[in-house]
Amino acid sequence: YVEEHTFQFDEAFPENTTNAELYNVCVRPLVSSLFARKAKCTVFAYGQTGSGKTYTMLGCQEPSKATPGLFALAGRDIFTELERYNGRHAHPTYQTSKDELAIKVSFYEIYCGKLFDLLNHRKMLAARENGRNRVVIVNLQERLVEDPDELMKVVAEGMEARTTGVTGANADSSRSHAVMQISLVHKKQMKHVHGKLSFIDL
């Protein structure tokens, strides 16, 4: 006897869907909400090893097949929105307004139940609960980035650290999960997070 289940989805995409098409439907609205609603959003790529999760997130870097992934597409639009936002909130006198935002990036890996900072020589990290009962990653390095190209350089650095840290075998790669976080922070109070977009490659 097999019990039947009904599953509901907001969207279902055919196999020939491009990264850009997927991004426009699933991720682009989240980018807008970071600025408009100070949202904290998460994008999961979930599936078995070899199903294309990393390709969706990172795209193809070969010159002849160059295809941007969700990281690059989101980065492009986030910086476009950032320029507009800061333009509206610029102070007429002071060089930096208290409302102007900047972008920080962190990138870490969960491997065999342990956390590693992909932007700090794979330094082992610890997850702790703070005074507000929220889980935080202690001493996770954050990089201030100024444009989409700099963002992708940081992503490439993190991916290289992840690749050299594990083998190419399926058994190992399936135990490795990468988390890349893009945080909107206030320029005058860098610890004050305005919004956050997390990409998780499971």
Q: Give the pLDDT confidence of 46-78 residue by residue, as tens digits.
A: 888 788 888 899 998 776 667 899 999 999 999
Helix or strand run (H / E) with residue 53: helix 53-58
Q: Angle 28-36/19-26 helices, nearest 10 degrees?
A: 40
pLDDT in tens, 100-118: 899 999 999 998 889 999 9
Sequence-ordered list of residues with C-beta below 8 angstroms from that of 70, at least 6 positions apart, any chain: 19, 22, 23, 27, 43, 56, 57, 59, 199
Q: What's 125's DSSP letter?
A: E
Gap between the Cα atoms of 48 and 170, Å rounded: 10
Per-residue pLDDT, 5: 92
Contact status, residue 89 vs residue 97, Cβ threshold 8 Å: yes
Q: Is 106 annotated as a binding residue?
A: no
Of residues 54, 101, 114, 108, the one with CA closest to residue 196: 101
Q: Is 6 annotated as a binding residue?
A: no
Per-residue pLDDT, 93: 60
For residue 97, report the phi and psi dihedrals to the nearest 5 degrees. -80, 150
pLDDT in tens, 140-166: 999 999 999 999 999 999 998 986 555
* Residue 188's pLDDT band (cuts 50, 70, 90): confident
Whole-prediction pTM value?
0.85
Contact status, residue 106 vs residue 180, Cβ threshold 8 Å: yes
Q: Is 98 annotated as a binding residue?
A: no
The mean predicted confidence, pLDDT, of the chain is 87
Q: Is 50 annotated as a binding residue?
A: yes
Per-residue pLDDT, 112: 86
Contact status, residue 87 vs residue 79, Cβ threshold 8 Å: no
Gap between the Cα atoms of 56 and 59, Å rounded: 6
For residue 138, report the phi and psi dihedrals to the nearest 5 degrees. -70, 130
pLDDT in tens, 1-17: 688 999 999 999 998 99
Instruction: Name all domains of the chain by residue range, CATH numbers in brackets.
Output: 19-201 (3.40.850.10)
Q: Which residue has the higher pLDDT, 174 or 123?
A: 123
User: Kind of pairing, strands 40-45 and 189-201?
Assistant: parallel
Q: Is 53 annotated as a binding residue?
A: yes
Give pairs for 54-58: CB < 8 Å, separation 24+. 54/201, 55/19, 56/19, 56/22, 57/199, 57/201, 58/155, 58/159
Q: Is 18 annotated as a binding residue?
A: no
Per-residue pLDDT, 43: 96
